[in-house]
Structure 1
Amino acid sequence: MDKSTNTVNYNPLPEDGSQIRLITILPGGKHKKVKCTVSNFPFVKNASQNPEYEALSYVWGDATITTSITLNSRPFQVTTNLEAALRALRLRNKKRLVWVDAICIDQTSIPERNQEVRRMGEIYSRANNVVVWLGRAQEPNDGEQLDDDRIADKLHGVLDTLANLQSENDEAAAALLDRTGNPIYAIRLLHRFFYRPWFNRIWVLQEITLAKTATIMYGDMRIGWDRLVQAVDALRRLQIGQYTYVWRLSGASKADSVQRCWMRTRGATKQSEHPSPVHLELADLLWQTRFHEWTEPRDRLFGILGLVKGDLRGEKLLEVDYMKPVADVFKDLSIYMVQGGMLSHLLCSIVKPVDGLPSWASNWIADLQGETATRLSKGLMIYMQIYEFKGVQQPLNPPRLSDDLCRITIKGAIVDYGIGHIGKRFEPFLAMSIEERARAVRTRLIEWEDEMESQHCAHQIFETQAERREAWKSAVLHELLGDETELGHHYDLMTDRENEIRTDKDYAFLMKIVTNFDSTLGLSCDYIRPFVTVSGLMGSTGTKSDLRSGDQVSILVGSGVPYILRPVDQTRDLYKFVGCCWMPGLMDFDAVEGEREGYWKPHDITLI
């Protein structure tokens, strides 16, 4: 957004936080230009003279596409989405007092941005109401147009009726949509609503979680946040069963992820007698928000700090500072996590090398598509937190940082001589029919098996082909040897050489199999890379790592997850960190236990 045309002179906000800047939306007709004033108001805790105001939660939109409003009688450029929000908020015969970040924070002043972002949680928690603006109900550039001009009214009717459903009947939501006479149309309404960008924006988690009350605005539609949550609950009950496709296609999981954050934060408030350590609380938040979006990269961290209930005041490593280089923000976050005993959380979050960061540091970014596509398996998520689940103290492994804070030395052991075989990468395929996707997954799983079977290293430990296949299956699916699971059964069906799976039978069952493999391995089997070590151990990466022959598997003191390291200078035990991995024989096998059993002796390992 070009702020050079914005000539409003802001009165400075005191550094002690005793004032807040608010806009007054002046009354006007629907098609009149938006006019506002901006002023400073008292903002003292428990003071009767504090103003009653609302706070706006929205997505800025494309910062290069702006329009003009009038602010303090002068032209002021805002994004078109913000202008639409202000227009929707405007009352015909009454002023409205609102806090809006793009206007109430002097965006040209980095010190003020730092100051206001630090107290963003307080601003939203003290607002009388948080208004969520999702955008116009039918944008002019949406492409395909629904054939009813009253989309907001129809959607409100569907959501309101869903919210009234009783929880006893798990399939009531599907029956309700069917009674509309056009369930596909109803699902499209829901899909368009829940796929608004707001639901995936990282800042909204804080804004909605800390709100006293919240109102959703979607064009002319108004619905309370509590009512929306009730509607989502009705749809969530379709996750299991014959109507699971309704849950998936509706997009309601987008709102569900916001609500889970709300429940987590409110729950942490109630459990004040036994609060989580602040490092663990922040790690949980970072994991929960890894698929959310932001424009300013520092907001990956700054956007969730207000949700941490533990005391972070005075913590210099996490201080909000938009002048701080992005790489330094995440290096300091990584140091903070390691110092707090969150080594496994940190290392398991690393997807790929990041410019400017040591290999052991993470920016906690992940996607469901593209180069950083990843979805850490449930197995790895459990063993990453194994000591917390067991309720026991993890073995101490205090990190030693180099003077330049770019190297970290920890105790661990190298398990094998290196990786001898890596499963091939497959070319990504475009979205196909369920039948085509099933055949593609079957072909790729069999190719992986055949490649493995032809490798000499794969025969070092497991003597029979059946034993090798079971070990390989456990490695690929991130399961333990001997586990009997539905996914394992699906794997057996897909890789049965004698009986190819019938794609013309039981479409719902076929969809379930394909969906399971999509979520476990990725649409193109690219979430993981299976491998065999030189001595015959089988495993697979936890993320889409750049795995290479010669990389080595390590076990670190205080971690229940194995890791892959790349030798840089083995005479000095220098390594680059590659990623976490799943190896059925090494899960929950700590380096200290291995020393006790006589397998190895832990030594210093330095990551650069």
Structure 2
Amino acid sequence: MQPYQYSRLSYPDQGSGEAFRLLLLHPSLNQDVPLQCTIQHHDLARAPPYEALSYVWGTDDCQVSIYCQGNTELRARYNLKQALLSLRLLHQPRTLWIDAFCINQGDDDERAQQVMLMRTIYSQAHRVIVWLGDRTPDVEHALRLATNLRQVSLSVASSPADHHASFWDTTAIRTLAAAEGLFAIGELADLFDRPWFTRIWCVQEVVASSAAVARCGDLEIPFADIVGAASIVHKFRDGMVTGRPLEFWNTVALQKYAEWPLSPREGSIGVLEKALMAARDFESTDPRDKVFALLGLVSESKGWFVEPSSIDSIGVKLIRQAASTITQLVSGKGYTPKQLKIDYRKSVMEVYRDVTRFILRKAPRVADILCQAHHLTDPGERKYWPSWVPDWSRKRNTAVLGGMGVFTADDMWLEQEDKGLSPTHHDTLFLGGFGFDRIIRVTEVLECDIQDALELDILWLQLFDIAFLESWQEPYPLAGMEETRGMAFLRTVMVGELGLILYDGLMGELWSAASATNTLKLPRDYTRAENDGSACMMNLIQCDHPGMARLAQKAQGGIAAHFDRIAKSLGYGRRLFLTEYGRLGLGPRVSRPGDAVTVLYGGRMPFVLRQQGAHHLLIGDAYLRDDAIMSGSVSKAVRGGQGVHHKVTFEIR
């Protein structure tokens, strides 16, 4: 049988509306009868009622035929075939939109045009059917548990002790266990392991929907019931484990189903850079779709728009305000910058490079996106890939220290020369900033398993060549930092104030206060954390050294597991380092002695750069145990022409 031949869709510039296809799935009383369908062309604005299918293509090479238009065939993989068999009605046809069949996948131009319509296609669907796969013996119980978990999570407030309680001792879990027992929580967790929850396109498909149901075989429940339980399953799996998108689905649940919008712009999940960061752990068959699948969800898709923030500096707020005003004055469709056009003719690197450059250049011109360049190997070895371009096809391999806006190494805007407009400089950034120190020692990468103890005593030896008890009470050599070297070490491991915020689960309260007062007041009391950190060291050191008594006194009342949890969460995939001037820091995994520690204008975090001839490689962001650097006071002095450091332009490739 001949393959189905797609006829050309007509587009707006040819005098019609926005054209798309729908699939009419023919009915059958007998499930053994082969699937049959008809492909129809429609104007999106005047389409008949239809349902949109959200599913994963799968990797199974074994394909089956679906008879189309009577005498041609479409090829479907196992997962899609099972979905269609489940959805086929007995007596009447079913009208569906399915990307694999309704888009000519062999035509890059049509594919790009239809991808731009996908948000509208899913939003106009009568409902979106989320196909999670076949029914299994335990899935019915898991779906019922999802409904109960969501009800509990919405009705039971957390207790203050929940942040450091074990999963089984949290208020919500105790409540649910009392109602029906909790042996099935693993079954629900397994449901979130199904491939659908890891695919990037699935995000847009449910966020855009007006109504969505989850389906396993012939079982259906509201999708809100499943995704609403994501936060509890995330705790069950332990939130410190990287590479799981559960946290993002919890965010989607809060925004879409709990009336906690992520953006003041209707239909948006926020600006592009935040969406890219949040969806980093998702997967796509085509790596370019890690960007393209988000374009219909972000504020930039609705025009040139910058999200407001209550904790930005005055200069940044003015730029944001001006950008928003201009957006409101321009009538008609929003302007889509050239860098955000969906173009499958570009390579993966070109797509990622161009969107990174766009984010750097748009108001308010900050360098936060560069914190996403997490290298697994020496960036100099990837000759075709600029070191400053994040590889969104790779999952997170470390925590993002600057994403919460706690630090402001520079709180103004990025200074970028326009040489990047030249065809000869597409892969190069020319950024203003200054260097202030150089790395002389690094530790091993912090990659211990969640069950293993973090060997702080070994890390100390790798930095200082002298045992912890021999030197931890020496003063930290940085002027203005009134703390011992041992306490500076513990505060570095927990990333200073960021660790304190996570320590007590204060993020929501701090941001609520910041919205009300326009200031972000960070906690500074390290007493509890240092007691816990000292207890951590006590567990690792077994000797009769005289310093043990002082360490034991510091550890009194401390709970080692608390400090261990925060340190692993924030430090995973990074190295501790020591600089020429005695600063302690937590930097990228590929840091090495000789790397320069710098501030790039517009960057909340300092950056580690590596000189290669006349240019530099971006190694990644870093935390420094230096209040003057992390608060931005040094940067303000340099911008004002004062102090010992001077502004330079870094050529970064």
Check whether TM > 0.5. yes
Report if the CA contact (8 A) 2:127-2:213 is conserved: yes
Equivalent-residue separation in structure 1 for 2:172 and 2:608 (angstroms): 48
Are residues 1:167 and 2:155 paired?
A: yes
Q: Over residues 502-544 of structure 1, what are the superposed CA-to-partner deviations in whole Å (9 max), with x where a residue is unaligned?
A: 9xxxxxx77655544432233xxxx111111112121111x43
CA distance change for structure 1 residues 41 and 385 in 2, over 3 Å: closer, same or farther? farther
Does structure 2 retain, via aligned residues, the 8 Å contact 1:6–1:77?
Answer: no
1:555 equivalent in structure 2: 599
Q: Relative to 1, partners in 2 of residues 1:308 and 1:271: Cα closer, same or farther, differing over 3 Å?
A: closer
Once the two structures are superposed, the pairs formed by residues 335-346 of structure 1 within 5 Å of their partners are 335-340=357-362, 341-346=364-369
Contact residue 383 and residue 561 of structure 1 kept, 8 A: no
SS in 2 for 1:604: strand
What code does the residue aligned with 2:296 have?
Answer: G
CA distance in 1, matches of 2:295, 2:528: 39
Mapping of 1:170-249 within 5 angstroms?
170=158, 171-177=171-177, 179-180=179-180, 183-184=182-183, 186-232=184-230, 235=232
Structure 2 residue 389 is matched with structure 1 residue 361: yes
Deviation at 1:266, TM superposition (A): 8.1
Letter in 2 for 1:68: S
CA 1:425–1:231: 2 relative to 1, 3 Å: closer
Aligned to 1:152: 139
Any conservation in 1 of the 2:373–2:390 contact (CA below 8 Å)? yes
Question: SS at 2:643's partner residue?
Answer: coil
Determine whether 1:588 maps to 2:621: no
* Aligned position for 1:400: 418
Preserved CA contact (<8 Å) 2:443 2:577: yes
Deviates more, 1:247-256 or 1:65-74: 247-256
**Among residues 5, 8, 15, which one is paired with 1:9 in the alignment?**
5
1:322 aligns with 2:363: no
Q: CA deviation at 1:202?
A: 0.9
Query: Could you tell which deviates more after superposition, 191-200 or 511-520?
Result: 511-520
Whether 1:294 aligns to 2:284 is yes
Q: If the length of structure 2 is used for normalisation, what is the TM-score?
A: 0.74
Maintained 8 Å contact 1:199/1:254: no
The structure-2 alpha-carbon separation of the partners of 1:12 and 1:344, relative to structure 1 and needing over 3 Å to count, comes to same
Cα distance change of structure 1 residues 409 and 489 upon mapping to structure 2, 3 Å threshold: same
Question: Does structure 1 retain, via aligned residues, the 8 Å contact 2:132–2:194?
Answer: yes
2:161 alignment partner in structure 1: none
Q: 1:70 aligns with which of 67, 72, 81?
A: 67
Percent of pairs with identical residues: 25
Q: Determine the structure 1 residue equivalent to 2:372.
A: 349
| AA aligned opposite 1:58 | Y
Quick one: distance in 2 between partners of 1:269 and 1:538? 37
Q: What SS does the aligned partner of 1:154 have?
A: helix
**Cα shift at 1:324:** 1.2
Structure 1: how far apart are the matches of 2:261 and 2:482?
A: 50
**In the alignment, what sits opposite 1:505?**
none
- What amino acid is aligned across from residue 607 of structure 2 in structure 1? Y
1:397 alignment partner AA: E
**CA 1:308 to 1:68, structure 2 compared with 1: closer, same or farther past 3 Å?**
same
Distance 1:114 1:38, change over 3 A: farther
Deviation at 1:289, TM superposition (A): 0.9
Distance 2:562 2:238 in 1: 13
| Conserved 8 A contact 2:103-2:111 | yes
- Is 2:537 the partner of 1:540? no
Partner AA of 1:330 in structure 2: Y
Q: Residue 374 of structure 1 corresponds to which residue in structure 2?
A: 398
Secondary structure at the counterpart of residue 367 of structure 2? helix
Find the aligned partners of 1:248 and 1:580 in 2 and give their Cα distance: 20
Aligned CA distance change for structure 1 residues 114 and 271 (closer, same or farther; 3 Å): closer
Give the Å deviation of 1:68: 2.4
2:463 and 2:8 mapped to 1: Cα distance? 67
The residue identity in structure 2 corresponding to 1:116 is Q
Deviation at 1:121, TM superposition (A): 0.8
Contact 1:114 1:321 in 2 (8 A): yes
* Cα deviation, residue 264, structure 1: 11
- Aligned counterparts, 1:437-448, within 5 A: 437-438=452-453, 441=454, 444-448=455-459
Q: Tell me: CA distance 1:13–1:374, structure 2 relative to 1, closer, same or farther (3 Å).
A: same
Query: Which blocks of at least 5 consecutive residues in structure 2 are unaligned?
Result: 159-170, 304-333, 501-523, 543-547, 553-558
1:102, CA displacement in angstroms? 0.6
1:265 CA displacement: 10
Per the TM alignment, residue 26 of structure 1 is displaced from its structure 2 partner at its CA by 1.1
Is the CA contact 1:67–1:83 (under 8 Å) kept in the aligned structure 2? yes
How far is 1:136 from its partner? 0.8
The answer (yes or no) to whether the contact 2:142–2:185 under 8 Å persists in 1 is no
Q: Which moved more, 1:548-557 or 1:170-179?
A: 170-179
- After superposition, what is the alpha-carbon deviation per residue over 1:359-384, rounded to whole angstroms, capped at 9, x for unaligned? 2222335535xxxx11223x663246
> Helix, strand or coil for the counterpart of 1:215?
strand
Deviations 1:458-505 (A, max 9, x none): 999269997222222222221159651755443221112367999xxx
SS in 2 for 1:382: coil
After superposition, the Cα gap between the structure-2 partners of 1:177 and 1:459, relative to the gap in structure 1 and judged at 3 Å, is closer
One-letter code aligned to 1:108: G
Q: 1:531 to 1:173 in 2, by over 3 A?
A: closer
**Equivalent residue number for residue 579 of structure 1:** 620
Distance 1:153 1:61, change over 3 A: same
Q: Is the 8 A contact 2:492 2:585 kept in 1?
A: yes
Question: Does 397-406 or 560-569 show the bigger shift?
Answer: 397-406
Match of 1:58 among 55, 59, 78: 55
Give deviations 1:373-427, integer Å, cap 9, x for gaps.
11223x663246788xxxxx824523333422222212111102x211111347x
The answer to whether the 8 Å contact 1:380/1:561 transfers is no
Query: Equivalences for 1:126-145 in 2 at 5 Å?
Result: 126-138=124-136
Partner of residue 259, structure 1? 253
User: What pairs with 1:426-465 in structure 2 (closer than 5 Å)?
Assistant: 434=451, 437-438=452-453, 441=454, 444-454=455-465, 461=477
Number of residue pairs matched by the alignment:
542
For residues 585 and 264 of structure 2, the distance between their equivalents in structure 1, rounded to whole angstroms, comes to 41
2:315 maps to none
- 1:521 and 2:539 equivalent? no
TM superposition score normalised by structure 1 = 0.80
Does the CA-based 8 Å contact 2:150-2:229 persist in structure 1?
yes
1:480-495 correspondence runs (5 A) = 483-484=525-526, 487-495=529-537
Equivalent residue for 2:612, pick from 542, 557, 568: 568
The CA RMSD measured in Å over matched residues stands at: 3.6
CA gap of 1:187–1:269, structure 2 versus 1, over 3 A, is: closer
> What is the alpha-carbon distance in structure 2 between the residues aligned to residue 304 and residue 75 of structure 1?
32
For structure 1, which runs of at least 5 residues remain unmatched after alignment? 139-148, 388-392, 503-508
Retained in 2: the 8 A contact 1:152–1:219? no
Q: 1:588 to 1:248 in 2, by over 3 A?
A: closer
Match of 1:415 among 426, 432, 436: 436
Aligned-residue offset at 1:313: 4.0
> Per-residue deviation at 1:216?
0.4
Q: Distance in 1 between matches of 2:189 and 2:346?
A: 39
Letter in 2 for 1:588: S
CA separation of 1:104 and 1:382: change in aligned 2, threshold 3 A: same
Report the counterpart of residue 485 of structure 2 in structure 1.
468
Q: Which residue of 1 aligns with 2:104?
A: 106
| One-letter identity of the residue aligned with 1:484 | Y
Q: Residue 430 of structure 2 contacts residue 650 of structure 2 at CA under 8 Å; is this kept in 1?
A: yes
**How big is each residue's C-alpha offset from its partner over 1:216-275, in whole Å with a ceiling of 9 and x where there is no partner?**
001222001233345557x47x95xxxx67999999657424425647998367556xx9
Q: 1:536 to 1:549 in 2, by over 3 A?
A: same
Contact 1:384–1:560 (8 Å) recurs in 2? yes
Say which SS state the counterpart of residue 261 (structure 2) adopts.
Answer: helix
Quote the residue 1:26 is aligned against. Answer: 26
Q: Which residue of 1 aligns with 2:35?
A: 35
